[in-house]
Structure 1
Amino acid sequence: MLRMLADGTRLRLMWLLVDGEHDVTALVAALGVARPAVSQHLGKLRLAGLVTVRREGRRALYTARGGHVRRLMTEVMHAASHRVAGIPEHD
């Protein structure tokens, strides 16, 4: 799982998906990354069990899989934020 998050694009994708469902078009617009690249990253995240997909007609809606993954992402992003801002770690 953590190896999948080492890629900047996948990390940003996951952070968007923590907040709820998004389709590929919305993710492409939010990230400014080419559609094929976003689709490829989503496929890898699905295989790793970090993302789920739900079909709504022809649209595929992606979201972070479950509470554990969402909490993992939240902790990763908070730790990175503290590190960048020079804020001391919590005990």
Structure 2
Amino acid sequence: MTEQSESRKRAGEDVPVERLYGPVSSLFAALAAPLRAAIIHRLIEREHSVSELATTLGAAQPLISQHLSRLRYAGLIQSERRGRQVIYRIADEHVAHVFLDAYRHSVEHRTD
């Protein structure tokens, strides 16, 4: 293998686009629904139960649960059972940074 092809491989140029960018696309797809974005925003502030999120966001608990499931599957949030309740929190600070950067960018460039 030549030095140039080795350099290209390290840069991801020989990796199929789907494999290279699929995970980041999945992350943004998980955040694409406005209600899921609102859930993430609330969980950045603090942990919440499903009922707290439903009350705060004005949505039915089953709908909130469906969105939480999608966010958990995407690895953006974590859950912990505490007695009869399940408490949800953001998975890590990277999720918070990605979301808040995108949110701030969208607010700065809003054209209402």
TM superposition score normalised by structure 2: 0.73
Percent of aligned pairs sharing the same letter: 31
Q: What letter corresponds to residue 82 of structure 2 in structure 1?
A: E
1:28-76 deviation line (CA, Å, top 9, x unaligned) = 0111111110000000100000010011111111011101001111101
1:21 to 40, 47, 50: 47
The correspondence of residues 7-86 of structure 1 with structure 2, limited to 5 A, is 7-84=33-110
Corresponding residue SS for 2:105: helix
Corresponding residue SS for 2:48: coil
Q: Would you identify which runs of 4 or more consecutive aligned residues in structure 1 move more than 6 Å?
A: none
Q: Structure 2: how far apart are the matches of 1:25 and 1:50?
A: 19
Corresponding residue SS for 1:42: helix
Gaps of 5+ in 1: 87-91
Gaps of 5+ in 2: 1-26
TM superposition score normalised by structure 1: 0.89
